[in-house]
Each structure stands twice: as C-alpha cells, then as structure tokens.
Structure 1
Amino acid sequence: MAAPRPAARTSPVARPPAAVRPPPAQRSARAPAKPAAVAASALSPGDSTRLNKRLAELGVCSRREADDWIAHGWVYVNGAVAEMGMRVTAQDKITVERAAQRQQDKQVTILLHKPMGYVSGQAEDGHEPAAALINPRSQWREDHSGLRFSPPQLRGLAPAGRLDIDSVGLLVLTQDGRVARQLIGEDSSVDKEYLVRVVYEGADARRSGERAEPLQEIDERDPVRTNVQAVFPQALLERLRHGLSLDGQPLKPAKVDWQNPEQLRFVLTEGKKRQIRRMCEQVGLKVVGLKRIRIGRITLGALPVGQWRFLSANEHF
C-alpha cells in the first residue's frame, strides 16, 4: 500500500482545477488539520445546515471563504475531506488545515475617508466606487500599520457596510469575511456614530408630503436654520431615539443627541438603507450633511478626505 501523500502547497489565490486535486481517499491522508474555532451557535442537536454556513456561524470565516477552502480541500468533517454543498450537524467535528489560516492572515482591511460623490459598492449611474480611491498614492502618510499597498489587496475587497453617495466619513473595505460578518452580519452589535447637520421643515411636513414652509423663503436668521435645537420639539427627539419604523419594521433604539444647535449625533447598531435620512424625514428634519466618524472602537480621527489606511494588527472593532 502506498505511503500517504504529504500535504500539497496550494496557492492561496488561484483555485486549483478539480481534475488536479487528488481524489477524496488520498486527500483524507494529508497532514493533520487544526480544529476550527468553537463558538456558540443556534444549531440544535439533530438539525443540519450547509457546511459553509456552519463555518460562518462559528466565526471561522465567511461563507464565500468557506466555499473557497472546501474547493481547496482544506476542510474536513469527522476526519474526511469535505465536499461542496454538504450538510453538517452540531455533533460533526469540523477541522481546517493551517493553510487556510495562512491565507486568511494575508487578508487586509482598509479604512477610507470616503468623499461625497462615490458609491460604497459597485459603480452605478456613472458614479465611481469608493474602492477606486485605493491606490499607493492615496495611502495616508501617517499609516502606522507597517503594511504597504500591493495590487492583490484589491482582489475580493468589499465594503463592510454602506455609506450613501451624498455622505462622507469612515468606510471599511475588507477581504476578511470575519470582519465583514462582525460589522454587517445579522447578529452584529457593533455601533456606528454619525454627525448629522439638519434643518427643521416642520412637524407636519412628513404627514402632508410637502414642506411646512419653502426653505428658500426662510430668513437666514430664522432659528429653523441657525438654531434647530431651539425649535425642534423634545417629543420628536424622543421618537428619533425610539419609536420609528422603516420598511414595516420597528427600528432598534438609537442614541440621538444635539452636538451643537445645527447638528445631531446619532449612534446606531443597525444600518438600513439611508436610515438616518429617512428617520429624520419622519420627524420633519432635512439632512444637509452626514458624516460617519466611528465604527465600534475605530474612529475616523485625522484621516484626510479621499485617503485611506490599513487596519493594524492590534486594532479591533
């Protein structure tokens, strides 16, 4: 009987063709794999779920990464090489080869100060994606991560959360599925902080579908523009904090306070499409400026508009 084959060094970038990979009987004799990270999961005994989803639930990787690892032959279930699309239960033992961890360690997370006029994701309506700003010339000189830009860092780089085209501030782009799940996963609890400049259009503006008074006819000295805090009812501020719904679903409680007479500070733990603007519309406020300044423990700080830096190894959301 032939001796077991040693573990092959598989490229972390190019997925090997199926014909090149050894059959399962041979691949199962590879070098020992390391156990996948263990975490609490909603999977009940006896229930089954797809392997890629299970790995994501355990916090090991994203579903997309899991599929890639399975295709490489890096994932084992009860000691046998996993197959794409297979289902597992809570009792199944899942292990992952160290090659997957090495690949994951090379993935980067980028913090960008997004300017107005760029979309967070794919290009649309003639507007460039924020990722177009990621290049060696725009890397912040004060980036202390010790990392330098290289083209492979753009492969699979995706925004972990949206920031509207007419909003500015901190945008996270990552290759790491663990980071994406932490920030935008269904069970994410990472809060985001925003500074929001507003004008008050009147309490009845939302109900009538029209402005209570045309903004162009309002005197610039009117408190509606110069001291919104003074004219905005406290009861409506409380509604911003809790009591509004979007798309037929009640919103989670939010922290909303006045930063200055024209600017509100929002802290949210969810991120529905254009959420802050739509919340403000419901209480007669019009957003005229929106800037995200913090995500979890990471702040925008002094990062200049249009520039970016790497998330350092000692930084965590």
Structure 2
Amino acid sequence: MSDVPQPTRRLDRCVIELTGCSRREAENFIAGGWVRVDGEVVEQPQFPVTGQAVTLDPGASAAPAEAATMLLHQPAGLDAAAALAVVTPESRWDEDPSGWRLLHRHFHRLQAAMPLPPGASGLAVFSQDHRVLRHLADAGSRLEQEWLVDVEGELSPYGWKRLSGGTTFAGWPVAPFKVSWQSEQRLRFAIKGVRPGLLDWLCAEVGLRATASRRLRIGRIALAKMPPATWRYLPPSDRF
C-alpha cells in the first residue's frame, strides 16, 4: 500500500497552529528568525512545510523585527558599492557586542550613509533604517569625526595655528578643528564636515603630504578594535 502524501502548509499557518498567535504575530516570529524547520531558521512566511518539525526558539518575541544598521571596517581602495559587497554573514566580527541575531533579511536594501572619501579606510555605515539614513544625511556635517592621517614631509612653522582658526576649502568654510601628532608620521584629526579631498588639502597647506587616512569615529560611534573587512551591528539604543 502506498504512503498517503502529507498536505503542504505555509510556515506562518504552522506557527499559528503551534502557538495560537495571530497571523501578524506569526509573520513577526518568522521575520525575527525565531522559527525553525527541522532545526534550521527559516525567514519566509510562505515557506512550504510538509511533515517537517516546526519549532519556536526560547524567548521568541512577536515584536516587529528592527531594521538593521551595520558598521564596517572598510579596507582602503573600495568605493561604497564594493564595500557593501564585503558585508556578508561570513564577515561579521566574531566579537560583535550587539547581541543581535544574524538574519538574512538584514542584508537586503542596505544603503551607505556618510560614505568614506575615495582611497580612505575605516568606519563605514550601511543601514536599512530610514531614521539612521535621514539623521546622518541631515546632521552628518555637524557630527565630529575622528581621523588618523599618515603624512610625509616637514610641517610649516605655525601652519596648524593658522588653519585651525578658520579657512575655506573648495568654497566651503572649514569648521574649527583639532589636530595632534599621534606619532612622527601620523596625525589625529577631530573635525566636522569632512568632504572628499579636505584632509589631503589641509595637510598640503602646511607642507605635508597625506599618504593614507582612516576614519575612527563618527559622533559617539567608534570603530573600536574591529579588524579590516569585518562588520558589527549598531544597536538601536546607540546614537551617533
């Protein structure tokens, strides 16, 4: 006698039957990565289930899943599109302190915010969250950024005193900034309104040639010890 085929049901229907929740709550459980089919997380409510075991992780929440923001240690020489390709599930920083669950939905429709100037490395931001994207677009020029710049050459006498008191670049005023030597060939800038070419120009104005630049911080958010080509989540509680 042949086996009777088992009916196929949508995953969200299985979750409703398992928990007694509403369809919206079932979709939120699934989108949040709390639902497993034969032990594997499935994030699609329409996933077909035919006899597999459907389970809900302990501590599951039916709250809508948060949009993700990722912080990348961008290697030098990449534009925003090439840098986004580095943000993959495999390149997540092993020591990411956010506590966020890694979901495949977090890698959809990411947009760059305050992209690094050409040739620079360091802290880059990619987000799905329209609130983060809008904030950095509107207020980014007013957020202090911290940069390390490797230089060659000899500093002109009184150069930084003249420039840090106020100057213009490409027709735009340069906000007052702080600069100090971190080593004999490396400067640390704390500066707002960084535009492509600005740091190179500031160095050239005082007799130095910038050879490399790395962004360490935007506002209150720092690169920390994250290795190049790795990323971590920005929790919603953290603010630039």
TM bucket, shorter chain: 0.5 to 0.7
Task: Output the TM-score relative to the length of structure 1.
Answer: 0.52
The answer to whether the 8 A contact 2:156-2:207 is kept is no
Aligned to 2:201: 278
Name 2:78's counterpart in structure 1: 118
- Unaligned runs of 5+ residues in structure 2 are 1-23, 29-62
Trace 1:60-209 onto structure 2 (pairs within 5 A).
Answer: 106-120=66-80, 122=81, 129-185=82-138, 188-200=141-153
CA deviation after TM superposition for structure 1 residue 184, in Å = 3.2
For residues 168-226 of structure 1, what are the alpha-carbon distances to aligned partners after superposition, in whole Å with 9 as ceiling and x for unaligned?
A: 111111112222233331575221100111112xxxxxxxxxxxxxxxxxxxxxxxxxx
- Report the CA distance shift for 1:194/1:187 in structure 2 as closer, same or farther (over 3 A): closer
Conserved? CA contact 2:151–2:208, under 8 Å: yes
SS of the aligned residue for 1:185 comes to helix
Contact 1:113–1:306 (8 Å) recurs in 2:
yes
- Look up the equivalent residue of 1:196 and give its one-letter code: V
Against the structure 1 CA distance between its residues 248 and 313, is the aligned structure 2 distance closer, same or farther, given a 3 Å change threshold?
closer
The aligned length equals: 182
> TM-score, length-normalised on structure 2?
0.68
Question: Contact conserved, 2:221 with 2:239, CA < 8 A, in 1?
Answer: yes
Matched position secondary structure for 2:213: strand
Secondary structure of the structure 1 residue equivalent to 2:72:
strand
User: In the superposition, relative to structure 1, how do residues 162 and 168 fare at CA in structure 2: closer, same or farther (>3 Å)?
Assistant: same
Distance 1:274 1:162 in 2: 13
Q: Residue in 2 aligned with 1:299? A: 222
Q: Distance in 2 between matches of 1:238 and 1:176?
A: 40
Paired letter, 2:197: R
The letter of the residue matching 1:294 is R
Change over 3 Å in CA distance of 1:239–1:183 after alignment to 2 = farther
Question: Which residue in 1 is equivalent to 2:165?
Answer: 242
What is the alpha-carbon root mean square deviation over aligned residues?
Answer: 2.4
SS of 1:272's partner is: coil
Bigger drift between 189-198 and 281-290 goes to: 281-290
> Deviations 1:103-125 (Å, cap 9, x if unpaired)?
7x6211101001112112x3xxx
Q: Is the 8 A contact 1:113 1:307 kept in 2?
A: yes
2:60 maps to none
One-letter identity of the residue aligned with 1:264: L
**Could you say if the C-alpha distance between residues 182 and 238 of structure 1 is closer, same or farther in structure 2, counting changes exceeding 3 Å?**
farther
CA contact (8 A) 1:109 1:311 kept: yes
The structure-2 alpha-carbon separation of the partners of 1:242 and 1:182, relative to structure 1 and needing over 3 Å to count, comes to farther
- The question of whether the paired residues in 2 share the 8 Å contact of 1:242 and 1:251 is answered with no
C-alpha separation in 2, matches of 1:239 and 1:175: 41
Give the secondary structure class of the aligned counterpart of 2:142.
coil
Contact 2:141–2:194, Cα closer than 8 Å, also in 1: no
- The Cα of 1:297 is off from its aligned counterpart by 1.4
Percentage identity across aligned positions? Answer: 35
Write out aligned runs for 1:218-257 (5 A). Answer: 231-257=154-180
Q: Distance in 2 between matches of 1:175 and 1:112?
A: 14
Per-residue deviation at 1:145? 1.7
1:161·1:271 contact (CA, 8 Å) conserved in 2? no
Q: 1:84-113 CA deviation, whole Å, 9 max, x = no partner?
A: xxxxxxxxxxxxxxxxxx77x621110100
> Shift of the alpha carbon at 1:244?
2.5
Gaps of 5+ in 1: 1-8, 13-101, 123-128, 201-230
Q: Matched residues in 1 for 2:71 and 2:161: separation?
A: 32
